[in-house]
Amino acid sequence: MIANAALAQDRQLILVGNLIPDAATGPVGPATLVVIDGKIVEVTTQREIDKAGVADAMEADAVINLRDKTVMPGLIDLHVHLTGDPGGDFWKEATEPAEWGVVVGAKNALLTAKAGFTTVREAGSSQYSAFSLRRGTADGIIPGPRIIAAGPALAIVGGHGDVSGFTEDINKVLTSGYSCTGAVQCAEKVRKASRAGSDVIKITATGGVLSQQGRGLEAQFTNEEMRSIADTAHSLGLKVMAHAHGARGIEAASRAGIDTIEHGTFADEAALKVMKTNGTAMVPTLMAFQGVSEGLGKGIYTPVVEEKIRMTLGNVGKAVTSAKRLGVPIVFGTDAGVFDHGRNAEEFQLMVNAGLTPREAITSATTAAAKALDMDMEIGRIAVGYSADLIAFDGNPLDDVTVLEKVDWVMVRGRVID
């Protein structure tokens, strides 16, 4: 539930033990924050703490005492699936109504926010379920993070993201209506997604691990189709995120003008150099592979999927190491929904294991992720005028990123999440 939701409109004073305004700044010690109408309106550090703290506390509608905690900006996950839980993907299209995704999504939105993630990019859902969640969290009806929603992903007919694994008559009934063939039809589907309410366009540029289509993980859209998608989306002011595993599919997506590569599992030096040249960011989703590996041999996945999982596991993290070396932007995303929601912060240690410093890993989930969303003047740091998206915990994540796996207090848009 949302505690004291009405206080989003009042003057809240937050007493901070150790403030980290952003990853670049690092800890600055004790501070006070004033929040009004969901926005940060004052940030007072140690120099003024003695004079400002008591007086402000007397004038505040609410005082939140976090003197024994570290406080930093809320985290951003650029790849989640709030409307789904792990396992059973093959059958869900045939057994669960789309409305059930909103029920599941409400549960997962709360878990995600309580884990410290105050903004997420919903990377594929049924037609309106993520849009309903987006509105619910924005209005404070559903406790959860700010949601940037893609809606259904664009896919090739029979490819990853389209329905497959059933007989053709069943596939036809269950299809999302967003598969396309040819540049003209793909442009039409982008416009359809925009009309329906998508904040970002999601495409499946290559084959995928968890779909029933077992024909590999390389490019599925043609170059012309991907260019049409990127150009059309950009003309509408929308960015494009591309699920992509195989190196040549990654390279083609970047050349086409796609904004972010999701997963990037088999990205080689040639693909990464194209990404560097085009400014295409990588969203590694290392936790996705952690999650699927935990499900192997338990009857969760079909033999087709298990074979693809085993094929990818030996490469997890290698592309991240190479991307850092070549200067490719790396931004935070987990693919939560493939694993249990609420575990998102476990991605940080996996990124560090792949070669990022703690500061780089935290930047990827704050200022860098905000920039990828074109929201870097609203979220990703603690500063006057920014959204009051805050988390509190013990310790210093710049020394040990695992402290972010246990967040004690969360505020989203000025609302405290319980």
Q: b/e map of 293-326 (b: 16 or more CB within 10 Å)?
A: eebeeeebbeebbbebbeebeeebbbbbebbbee
108 or 169: which leads in pLDDT: 108
Tell whether the torsion through CA atoms of 106, 242, 343 and 112 is positive or negative. negative
List Cα–Cα distances, 212 to 66, 91, 101, 181, 207, in angstroms: 49, 11, 21, 20, 10
Say whether pLDDT at 54 is over 60.
Answer: no
Instruction: Output the pLDDT for position 3.
Output: 42
Place of tokens 């999650």: 291
Say whether pLDDT at 111 is over 60.
Answer: yes
Which tokens sit at 388? 């009051």
Say whether pLDDT at 135 is over 90.
Answer: yes
Residue 14's domain is classified under what CATH number? 2.30.40.10
Q: Collapse the DSSP code of 322 into the 3-class scheme (helix H, G, I; strand E, B; otherwise coil) and give the result.
A: helix
Q: What is the mean pLDDT of residues 111-117?
A: 98
Instruction: Output the pLDDT for position 5.
Output: 45
Closest by CA position to 171, among listed 182, 157, 155: 157
Angle at CA of residue 173, ends 168 and 174, nearest 5°: 95
Ranges 7-16, 140-149, 224-233, 402-411: which has the least confidence: 7-16
Instruction: Output the pLDDT for position 17.
Output: 96
- With respect to residue 357, please indicate whether it lies within any of the assigned structural domains: no
Give burial (CB, 10 Å; 0-12/13-18/19+) of 28.
middle
Q: What is the mean pLDDT of residues 239-254?
A: 95
Q: Are 69 and 90 in the same domain?
A: no
Instruction: Output the pLDDT for position 208.
Output: 62
The rounded mean pLDDT for the chain is 89
Domain count of the fold of the chain: 2
Contact 205, 155 (CB under 8 A): no
Ranges 151-160, 203-212, 222-231, 322-331: which has the least confidence: 203-212
Angle at CA of residue 345, ends 360 and 37, nearest 5°: 90
Ranges 37-41, 155-159, 391-395: which has the least confidence: 155-159
Q: What is the mean pLDDT of residues 209-232?
A: 82
Residue 275's domain is classified under what CATH number? 3.20.20.140
Final residue belonging to a domain, choices 293, 316, 342 = 342
Provide the β-strand partners of residue 162: 160
Q: Collapse the DSSP code of 369 into the 3-class scheme (helix H, G, I; strand E, B; otherwise coil) and give the result.
A: helix
pLDDT one-digit tens code per residue, 163-213: 666 777 776 767 778 999 999 999 999 999 999 999 999 999 987 666 656
List Cα–Cα distances, 269 to 205, 302, 307, 319, 327, in angstroms: 19, 32, 26, 9, 11
- With respect to residue 270, please indicate whether it lies within any of the assigned structural domains: yes
Q: What is the mean pLDDT of residues 122-151?
A: 95
Q: Which domain holds residue 175?
A: 75-342
